[in-house]
């Protein structure tokens, strides 16, 4: 049941993201056979199959729109090349890493802070995103999150004489 809810939630979030993006790029996307074309770029090759399924559902709901997915194995290189050519894709799915920082630095992204979907983003998520760059604007909105943690071996800490677990990287 939880997997179904997560999948449906993910599909809806993706469809909303694409629909909102369509409204931003409707006049700028290339036209192919009377369709508006949106370029979706993902920095993760492992999610291409999922995106293809989401795109299929989206295009069924919006038949006048074609979504072209690009998910190359050398995504960072492709993005840097696109930046140099000033030809970024319409929608970029990127992790909160140096790729996002490079994109923000290029000033080729749109400030999303005023968008309705951005206003419903949890403040903690907004803070995580904006902490990656020095500008005040919101240039990315999370559609998924991951939990991370640090695992340590208590016996090795004890053997090394470490009595309390460190709380910083210092």
**Whole-angstrom distance, CA of residue 65 vs CA of residue 57:** 12
Query: Are the CB atoms for 25 and 38 separated by under 8 Å?
Result: yes
Q: Which residue has the tokens 């999303």?
A: 112
Higher-pLDDT residue of 170 and 28 is 170
Q: What integer pLDDT is reported at residue 1 of this predicted model?
A: 52
pTM of the complete model:
0.66
30 pLDDT band (50/70/90 cuts)? low
**Whole-angstrom distance, CA of residue 125 vs CA of residue 131:** 10
Query: Are the CB atoms for 64 and 18 separated by under 8 Å?
Result: no
Calculate the average pLDDT of the chain.
80
Query: Are the CB atoms for 137 and 169 separated by under 8 Å?
Result: no
CATH of 2-159, one of 3.40.30.10, 3.30.750.24, 3.40.190.10, 3.40.50.2000: 3.40.190.10
Query: Are the CB atoms for 94 and 140 separated by under 8 Å?
Result: yes
């Amino acid at each position: 049941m939880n997997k179904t809810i997560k999948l449906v939630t993910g599909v809806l979030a993706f469809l909303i993201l694409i629909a909102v993006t369509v409204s931003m790029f409707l006049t700028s996307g290339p036209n192919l056979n009377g369709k508006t074309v949106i370029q979706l770029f993902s920095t993760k090759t492992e999610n291409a199959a999922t995106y293809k399924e989401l795109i299929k559902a989206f295009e069924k709901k919006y038949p006048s729109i074609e979504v072209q997915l690009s998910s190359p194995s050398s995504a960072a290189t492709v993005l840097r090349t696109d930046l140099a050519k000033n030809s970024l894709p319409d929608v970029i799915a990127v992790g909160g890493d140096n790729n996002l920082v490079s994109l923000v630095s290029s000033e080729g992204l749109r400030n999303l802070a005023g968008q309705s979907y951005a206003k419903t983003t949890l403040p903690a998520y907004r803070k995580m995103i904006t902490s990656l760059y020095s500008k005040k604007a919101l240039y990315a909105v999370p559609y998924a999150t991951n939990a991370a943690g640090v695992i340590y071996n208590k016996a090795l800490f004890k053997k090394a004489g470490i009595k309390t677990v460190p709380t910083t990287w210092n």
